[in-house]
Amino acid sequence: MSDKSRQLSLGWRLLGVAAFVGLVGAILWQLRGAASDAMTMIVRLPPLVWPALVLLYMVQPLCEFVVFRRLWNMPVAGFEALLRKNVINEVVLGYSGEAYLYVWARRAAGAVVAPFQAIKDVNILSALLGNLLTVALALVSATHLRDLELDKRLGPALWSGLIPVAISLGLLVFGRRVFSLPRDQLVFVGAVHAFRLIVVTGLTVLIWWMALPQVAISLWIVFLTIRYLVSRIPFISNKELVFGNLMLLVLGPHAPVAVLLAALALITLFLHLAVIVGLGALGLARGVWRARGEIAPVAAEAVHD
């Protein structure tokens, strides 16, 4: 890698870290008058919410592992790479995790020679199905968005998420020129992504409802629509933190729904941290074990001599 490439990569990382720290700081600042409310919300979360949160966090890497297991015969060790990819996408910069996965696939033994086409098609199908779900939710929630005047209060920041949805219509028209994988593999990838979206949508609403059962399901669908619209904005990271900040600004720092969504965003942040620390510790332990395995025969041979 050239010095210029290293500097550019370092610049993107610093930008991603700065954005990440800024979003966390923004949530904490907005919660400064309701910090006790947020902590109380976290402490009082029903016990079943916690395993549901972990399952929600793991759904995407598990489904991606199923996909790449089929496409590349990905080894079990590849699941760690998928966990890192998702954290990089959320913490550093959107789609930067795909670059990491590409590098990993090129280096991993037994991986395909040219993984770019598979990564590209998998992400396009994921985005396409996510956009279609966003359109469906927007149509279902349009009346409630108008009744709550959220469409006016959120303005262009919300509806800009529809831009990628419009682009998806072009992908449907020019699909043969865009996709590289065979049709049967595309159907399999699409089916796995559709299953993932159904599970993620159901778990998200279930977690919100379990935490605040007094809020109507129809209102949770409205907030889910806003969340998906925010997630459609390209190249942004920390989508949960962005969504949490947006809800605090719109609903106010003392609104139970806003406090819950901001608290869940912070919990997701801690899950990212736990994954990075856990994988780092696992890698360090493996390195120490491998080093001990290499040193032991040498030491035994020296004693024998």
Do 232 and 162 form a contact (C-beta atoms < 8 A)?
yes
Q: What is the pTM of this model?
A: 0.78
213-250 exposure pattern, b = at least 16 Cβ within 10 A, e = fewer: eeeeeeebbbbbbbbbbbbbbeebbbbbbbbbbbbbeb
pLDDT per residue as tens digits for the range 118-137:
888 888 888 888 888 888 88
And the tokens for 253?
A: 């720092």
**What confidence category does residue 242 fall into, taking pLDDT thresholds of 50, 70 and 90?**
confident
pLDDT per residue as tens digits for the range 5-61:
555 455 545 554 555 555 455 545 544 554 566 777 888 899 999 999 999 999 999
**Any idea where the domains of the chain sit in the sequence?**
48-240
Q: Mean per-residue pLDDT for 177-192? A: 87
Q: How far is CA 114 from the centre of its chain?
A: 25
Q: Return d(Cα 273, Cα 271) in angstroms, integer.
A: 5
67-81, 239-253, 286-300: least confident range: 286-300
* pLDDT, position 9: 52
